[in-house]
Amino acid sequence: MKLSLATRIFLGYALVLLTFGAVSLFSVAELHRNRLEIRLVSQGYLQLSQDAAALETFQTSQEKDTERVLEQNSVETRRALIRLASLYYAPQMAQRLDAARAKAREVLTFAPEGEVPFVKELDARFAELARNSQAYGHAVEAVFTALASESPESKEVARATSELRQLESAIGRELRVLRATLGNRIRERVDGAEERERRTGLTIIALSIMAIGVGVGVTAWSARTLRPVRTLIEGVSRIGRGDYSAQLGVRGEDEVALLAREFDQMARSLQAREAQLKSQAEALMRAEQLAAVGRISAQIVHEVRNPLSSIGLNVELLQDAVDSAHFESQDTATEARELLSAVTHEVDRLTDVTEQYLRMARPARPDLEPEDIIAVLDGVLDFTREELARASVEVVRDFAPGTPRVLADQGQLRQVFLNLLRNSREAMPTGGQLTVATAPRDGDVEVTVRDTGNGMTEEVRRHLFEPFFTTKEGGTGLGLAVSQQILQAHGGSLSCQSIPGQGTTFVLRLPRA
């Protein structure tokens, strides 16, 4: 589920409030529990323990009184004292036990659920004491009756007296056990309350630290969530300064991340548009240069071509005349022939230059036909084999099997490959390796011409396809410009990759047939 930035920040701070609220509720709950515990001990078990202690004291006094009564020699005195005990002890004991049971039932109203069985057990013990107290009253009556009808030394008096003392011992023993049980329970509850108070304090401290940690974490998370806003502002500033390469790279699904991605897309679009405008400006500049070349070339061809043809024809006639002429020495004849050969070479070179200018001025429209690119490359490489071998250039043919045909003008394509091969040869004056490779691409066929020459700098590579730009002595700077013009007319492209000292790679792309 995608949450908005505002919702996420709200949920973060809601979590902080819930954490602190949970700490507060836990503290209140523990205080309430401690209050109930204090009430149970102070208003319940402590008072019941005091009642049990009072009953034990009362019972102990009664046992002593009974001992004194039984030590009396006078039957009448014993009967009077026993009658007094029956009239005093039983009602007092019953009254005190009823008060203790009422207190136990009152404790049941506020005792925790875990203490209810113990309080009910106390009530049952008080009830048992009440029954024993009634039995004690009957035993006292039995002793009184036995003393009235028998002698003090009779067996009936001894039996009744023994039962009376046994009941007194049982009641006293049960009262002591009850009091000890209450004392132990009070100590257990007090010790438990102290331990629980200690644990509660530690828990509250831990929860408080956790709540503070959650608060700090949420604050840091909020700051981290809002950090891309600053990045976005910096990116906008860079765009405003004309730096269209700014990319924020913010990830996520919130509004800031979405805005950042849109900003990155806008920056890429602006950068692409700037590159397109720059490319169009360069193309326009090249077009203007080519147009200037066209005008110059037309003038040059008009003014130079005919004189060059006449000079060439006259030189050929002069060579025929020299061949048939007689000279005073063989050295003079050789010198004359060398001079005529040099003139012929220069005339041919000037003719070639004028032809290049003419092709630049009026480029021929390519006659596109399906051509086997591998066959064309094989033909060109075979044609230049001797030239490359003399330059100590090793040729590697890396043609991909099944390379498709291309739409091309074979003559113009050969012109491009010849120009590239000669450039690569000249880039390896001491020899090297020349690799020509083909590879099918999406909708195109790629041809790479890679040499191991000296390479070129980035500055040279940027101007490589500009007309009249050359790094070779005596070069016209038109070969690569014409080659790129031919490939663009084919619907393809020509690019260059070069590293100084590691060689140069030309990459050609031609459309499939």
Q: Is the pLDDT of residue 104 over 80?
A: yes
List all residues 6 or more positions away from 366 whose beta carbon is below 8 Å from its beta carbon. Answer: 408, 409, 412, 486, 489, 490
Band of pLDDT at residue 360, cut at 50, 70 and 90: low
Pairwise CA distance, residues 248 & 293, whole Å: 46
Helix (H, G, I), strand (E, B) or coil at 340: helix
Pairwise CA distance, residues 158 & 160, whole Å: 6
- Residue 218 pLDDT: 77
pLDDT mean over 358-368: 67
Most confident of 71-80, 119-128, 352-361, 374-383: 374-383
| DSSP state, residue 42 | I
| In contact, 376 and 401? CB cutoff 8 Å | no
Pairwise CA distance, residues 7 & 14, whole Å: 10
Q: Is the pLDDT of residue 231 over 80?
A: no
Q: 12 versus 396: which is more confidently predicted? A: 396
Torsion (CA) 426, 427, 428, 429 in degrees, nearest 10 = 50
Band of pLDDT at residue 5, cut at 50, 70 and 90: low
Pairwise CA distance, residues 361 & 302, whole Å: 12
| In contact, 474 and 450? CB cutoff 8 Å | no
Amino acid at 132: N
Beta bridge partners of 450: 435, 505
If we measure between CA atoms, which residue out of 365, 226, 249, 356 comes closest to residue 301?
356
Q: Is the pLDDT of residue 153 over 60?
A: no
User: What is the overall mean pLDDT for the chain?
Assistant: 78
Output the CA angle 419-311-301, nearest 5 degrees.
Answer: 55
Q: 46 versus 468: which is more confidently predicted? A: 46
pLDDT mean over 215-226: 75
* Tokens describing residue 341: 């050969």
Most confident of 1-5, 279-283, 432-436, 470-474: 432-436
Helix (H, G, I), strand (E, B) or coil at 371: strand
Q: Is the pLDDT of residue 413 over 80?
A: yes
Pairwise CA distance, residues 159 & 157, whole Å: 5
Buried (b) or exposed (e) across 326-350, using 16+ Cβ within 10 A? eeeeeeeeeebeeebeebbeebeeb
| In contact, 73 and 218? CB cutoff 8 Å | no
- Residue 446 pLDDT: 92
Other CB atoms within a 10 A radius of the CB of residue 48 amount to 26
- Lowest pLDDT segment from 142-156, 235-249, 391-405, 425-439: 142-156
Q: Is the pLDDT of residue 422 over 80?
A: yes
Query: Residue 251 — φ and ψ, nearest 5°?
Result: -105, 155
| In contact, 485 and 474? CB cutoff 8 Å | no
- Residue 436 pLDDT: 92
In percent, how much of the chain has pLDDT > 90? 7
Q: Per the confidence metrics, is the pTM higher than 0.85? A: no
Band of pLDDT at residue 474, cut at 50, 70 and 90: low
| DSSP state, residue 264 | H
Q: What is the pLDDT of residues 286-341, one digit of tens each?
A: 667 666 666 666 666 656 766 767 777 777 777 777 777 777 777 777 777 777 77
Between the alpha carbon of residue 166 and those of residues 88, 93, 127, the distances in Å are 19, 17, 19
Alpha helix stretches (DSSP H) within 111-154: 116-149
Pairwise CA distance, residues 200 & 33, whole Å: 11
Pairwise CA distance, residues 93 & 57, whole Å: 11
417, burial (CB in 10 Å: exposed 0-12, middle 13-18, buried 19+)? buried
If we measure between CA atoms, which residue out of 456, 467, 465 comes closest to residue 487?
465
Pairwise CA distance, residues 75 & 147, whole Å: 7
Q: Which architecture does CATH list for 364-511?
A: 2-Layer Sandwich (3.30)
- Residue 438 pLDDT: 92
Amino acid at 427: A
Question: Would you list the domain boundaries of the chain?
Answer: 5-220, 242-362, 364-511
| In contact, 247 and 264? CB cutoff 8 Å | yes
Would the CA dihedral through 145, 151, 155, 160 be positive or negative?
positive
- Region 5-220: CATH code: 1.20.120
